């Protein structure tokens, strides 16, 4: 081989080596491109789901609040078989799960196992601490796939799985509080308000914005916060601070339980309203349930807004005030009450207490159906109809509880009929809910002004800043003078008439009893509702109080408002005095 051929050979060899290197480099490049997805992700994202706001009493007790639930997940392939029982034992202790249940779940699947979705925040924190200790103890080992040869080490992971609504006061304030409906969003479980306050304020209570942090991660898998990171701040739902005094609420509920036994009633509803502001201090029922454990969906009905009934004699003061307002009657007018029995057309109207004559105001004091039937004829149908509407009947009271029913009143054409006008004047032929009656009676204790009732007082954000919830919607229904006269007459009812059982000389107390037959399939049966609506005032404070006893024991005298509802009213006044919300003079 001459020198020229030797040179050509060297060049060819070098070229061959370069080609080989190029092919190796190209192959490596192609391999990187095709296997890019299998490379470790350099970007990490963390999310902290926003929580629903809480509901609180005016005395700052928690009524309901949300907390987070966490999911514990483990890959059984990474558990060292020699330390399997150690893992089972420690996890059951830290998570408060049954040891047998943990073992069963782990043995039922070879791979990823979700041990629980319902760890609370405290347990999740303990399990996270356990995870670090398990790593130190060598409980987890790297698993090598026998087919692909790939290896991985996942161990135990804790992630948010949902939201849990806690009702700290159990059945207190139910059914008005409402309950929750579970809402699944992918693998995350949220809750929505169902009925009552939880539903009415659902939009305000719901979480607004979850925390989201996206950025590059360091070697310890922590996110590096720099100018390229994406950060969104978590904004939880607003808290709702109510006007409910939890102490008063619980005291009234306990008393209603006792009174339910005494009266044999199906249910008793009672409420205390601040007469000047319309704020509800307590709204109690003897039929309650724990929103965390509902066994009968029918028990969740809110009778204070959903149960509509013929009110009976508690409607008399409302109609009487309309007569006074239109100057169709004077309190001192004398009315022939026919010795307790009166025929109007084909209808016989009777009184429980028989009188020859009564003054107009004593028709209310002694609850004469005959007297009301007669004087109601002085009120024309338009004034009658519009007057009931002004007092809030046949329209929702607007209380901040979901799903209120509005009831009904006779139309103008019906009221033209003298019999219909007569029966409506003492509470038949119309239907009302509890809050409509409470608000109507509040007019007599609030200078003739109707005011919308409310339970929610303030919204509060996570920083503690509050914003008043605007409710106040009021209207003048009767003049100050008429309201004053009615207030006087209702106090006379308690001092001398059918409400004597509620009298206290050291407070200004007024009110009216009511007893009404219940219609079953168009026929009045021997079952009743009884009520007492009125007020209790001291020098500074004014409270409107309502009681409705649904179906007390029939027979005997328990169905009368004076025997069933009035004692409940009196007990409520005593509670308010005991808790220094009323100060005797």
Three-state helix/strand/coil letters over 140-155 = ECCEECCCCCCEECCC
Q: Are residues 263 and 211 both part of a single domain?
A: no
| pTM of the predicted structure, to 2 decimals | 0.84
3-state secondary structure of 109: coil
Work out how many domains the chain is built from and give that number: 2
Q: Are residues 495 and 569 both part of a single domain?
A: yes
- Amino acid 220: pLDDT: 46
Q: Are residues 229 and 341 both part of a single domain?
A: no
Three-state helix/strand/coil letters over 260-321 = HHHHCCCEEEEEEEECCCCEEEEEEECCCCCCCCCCCHHHHCCHHHHCCECCHHHHHHHHHH
Is 106 inside any structural domain? yes
- Amino acid 222: pLDDT: 58
Q: Are residues 348 and 201 both part of a single domain?
A: no
**Positive/negative CA dihedral, 496, 502, 507, 509:** negative
What crossing angle do the helices spanning 84-95 and 99-107 adopt, rounded to 10°? 130
Q: Are residues 140 and 63 both part of a single domain?
A: yes
Closest Cα to residue 545, out of 434, 427, 466? 434
Domain hosting residue 92, numbered range: 44-242
- Amino acid 183: pLDDT: 80
Cα–Cα distance for residue pair 208/212, rounded to 1 Å: 13
Is 37 inside any structural domain? no
Closest Cα to residue 176, out of 195, 203, 204? 195
Q: From first to last of its 585 residues, what are the pLDDT tens digits of the chain?
A: 566 666 777 777 777 787 787 777 776 666 555 554 444 456 656 677 889 999 999 999 999 999 999 999 999 999 999 999 999 999 999 999 999 999 999 999 889 999 998 898 889 999 999 998 998 899 999 998 888 888 888 889 888 888 999 999 999 999 999 999 988 776 788 899 999 999 999 999 998 888 767 767 654 455 666 666 666 778 899 999 999 999 999 999 999 999 999 999 999 999 999 999 999 999 999 999 999 999 888 889 999 999 999 999 999 999 999 999 999 999 999 999 999 999 999 999 999 889 999 999 999 999 999 999 999 999 999 999 999 999 999 999 999 999 999 999 999 999 999 999 999 999 999 999 999 999 999 999 999 999 999 999 999 998 999 999 998 789 999 999 999 999 999 999 999 999 999 999 999 999 999 999 999 888 899 999 999 999 999 999 999 999 999 999 987 889 999 999 999 999 999 999 999 999 999
* Residues recorded for the chain: 585
Q: Are residues 95 and 72 both part of a single domain?
A: yes
* CATH number of the domain residue 396 falls in: 3.40.710.10
* CATH number of the domain residue 84 falls in: 3.90.1310.10
Contact predicate 165/150, CB 8 Å:
no
Q: Are residues 389 and 354 both part of a single domain?
A: yes
Which helix H or strand E contains 334, and what residues bound it?
A: strand 334-336
């Amino acid at each position: 081989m001459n020198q020229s051929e030797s040179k050509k050979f060297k060049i060819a060899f070098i070229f061959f080596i370069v080609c080989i290197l190029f092919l190796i480099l190209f192959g490596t490049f192609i391999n990187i491109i095709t296997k890019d997805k299998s490379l470790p992700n350099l970007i990490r994202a963390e999310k902290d789901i926003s929580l629903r706001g809480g509901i609180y009493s005016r005395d700052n007790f928690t009524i309901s609040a949300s907390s987070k639930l966490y999911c514990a997940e483990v890959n059984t392939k990474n558990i060292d078989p020699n330390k399997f029982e150690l893992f089972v034992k420690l996890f059951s202790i830290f998570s408060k799960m049954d040891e047998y249940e943990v073992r069963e779940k782990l043995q039922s699947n070879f791979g990823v196992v979700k041990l629980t979705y319902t760890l609370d925040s405290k347990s999740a924190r303990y399990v996270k601490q356990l995870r670090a200790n398990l790593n130190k103890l060598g409980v987890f080992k790297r698993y090598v796939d026998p087919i692909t040869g790939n290896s991985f080490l996942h161990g135990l992971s804790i992630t948010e799985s949902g939201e849990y609504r806690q009702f700290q006061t159990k059945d207190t304030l139910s059914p008005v509080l409402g309950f929750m409906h579970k809402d699944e969003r992918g693998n995350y479980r949220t809750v929505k308000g169902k009925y009552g306050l939880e539903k009415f304020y659902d939009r305000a209570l719901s979480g607004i914005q979850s925390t989201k942090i996206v950025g590059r991660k360091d070697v310890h898998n922590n996110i590096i916060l720099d100018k390229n990171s994406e950060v969104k701040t978590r904004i939880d739902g607003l808290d709702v601070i109510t006007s409910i005094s939890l102490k008063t609420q619980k005291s009234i509920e306990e008393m209603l339980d006792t009174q339910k036994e005494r009266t044999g009633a199906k249910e008793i509803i009672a409420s205390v309203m601040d007469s000047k502001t319309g704020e509800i201090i307590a709204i109690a029922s003897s039929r309650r349930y724990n929103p965390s454990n509902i066994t009968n969906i029918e028990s969740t009905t809110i009778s204070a807004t959903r149960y509509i009934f013929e009110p009976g004699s508690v409607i008399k003061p409302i109609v009487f005030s309309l007569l006074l307002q239109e100057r169709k009657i004077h309190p001192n007018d004398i009315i022939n009450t026919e010795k307790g029995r009166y025929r109007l057309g084909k209808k016989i109207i009777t009184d429980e207490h028989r009188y020859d004559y009564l003054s107009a105001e004593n028709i209310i004091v002694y609850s004469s159906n005959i007297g009301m039937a007669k004087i109601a004829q002085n009120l024309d149908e338009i004034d009658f109809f519009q007057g009931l509407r002004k007092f809030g009947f046949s329209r929702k009271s607007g209380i901040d509880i979901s799903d209120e029913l509005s009831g009904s009143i006779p139309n103008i054409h019906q009221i033209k009929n003298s019999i219909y006008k007569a029966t409506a004047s003492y509470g038949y032929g119309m239907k009302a809910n509890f809050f409509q009656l409470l608000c109507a009676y509040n007019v007599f204790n609030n200078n003739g002004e109707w005011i919308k009732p409310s339970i929610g007082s303030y919204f509060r954000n996570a920083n503690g800043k509050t914003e008043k919830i605007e409710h106040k919607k009021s209207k003048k229904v009767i003049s100050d003078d008429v309201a004053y006269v009615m207030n006087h007459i209702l106090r006379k009812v308690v001092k001398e008439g059918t409400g004597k059982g509620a009298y206290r000389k050291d407070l200004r107390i007024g009110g009216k009893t009511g007893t009404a037959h219940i219609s079953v399939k168009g026929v009045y049966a021997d079952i009743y509702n009884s009520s007492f609506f009125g007020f209790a005032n001291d020098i500074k404070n004014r409270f409107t109080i309502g009681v409705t006893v649904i179906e007390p024991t029939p027979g005997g005298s328990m169905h009368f408002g004076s025997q069933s509802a009035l004692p409940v009213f009196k007990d409520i006044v005593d509670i308010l005095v005991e808790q220094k919300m009323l100060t005797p003079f």
